[in-house]
Amino acid sequence: MPSPVTSIPNLGPASEAAFARAGIHSAEEIRDLGADAAYLRLLANGVAAHFIGYYVLVMGLQGRPWNDCKGEEKKALRLRFDALKAQHAASAAPSGRNRALDAFLDQIGVIERPRPRG
């Protein structure tokens, strides 16, 4: 049986509800995705970007208390968070479109993503 999202340290009922709205229903799914991809799923499903929410997730996946994030590690996580916000903004639907619907359609493979240049 899958473990609840709340079995990850630092994550409570509000986080569990947000992940459920993003189609993530277990701690194992979050661990498999990793902090960055899981957080991007939250953003794609309407959760407002918040640095503390991001590093709480990162610390929880490491089995650490949320307030263990300090100094250089916190600065590095801030850079990752800012990059995730920028990535989300770049992939967000144009204004006037329903982002939640677009995220769902993308999730089920209906929306074609641009191919990376390279």
Q: What is the mean pLDDT of residues 91-118?
A: 64
**CB of 35 within 8 A of CB of 43?**
no
Task: Give the residue with greater pLDDT, 56 vs 105.
Answer: 56
> For 82, left (φ over 0), alpha (ψ -120 to 50), or beta?
alpha
- DSSP assigned state of 89: H
What pLDDT does residue 97 have? 61
What pLDDT does residue 91 have? 81
- DSSP assigned state of 68: G
Q: What is the mean pLDDT of residues 43-69?
A: 95
Q: Does domain 5-107 have CATH number 1.10.150.20?
A: yes
Q: What is the mean pLDDT of residues 85-90?
A: 88
Give whole-number Cα distances, 65 to 8, 55, 57, 61, 90, in Å: 10, 10, 10, 10, 32
User: What is the band of 115 on the pLDDT scale with cuts at 50, 70, 90?
Assistant: low
What pLDDT does residue 44 have? 92
Judged against a pLDDT cut of 60, whether residue 114 lies above it is answered with no
Closest by CA position to 31, among listed 52, 1, 2: 2
- DSSP assigned state of 66: G
Q: For the chain, what are the domain ranges?
A: 5-107
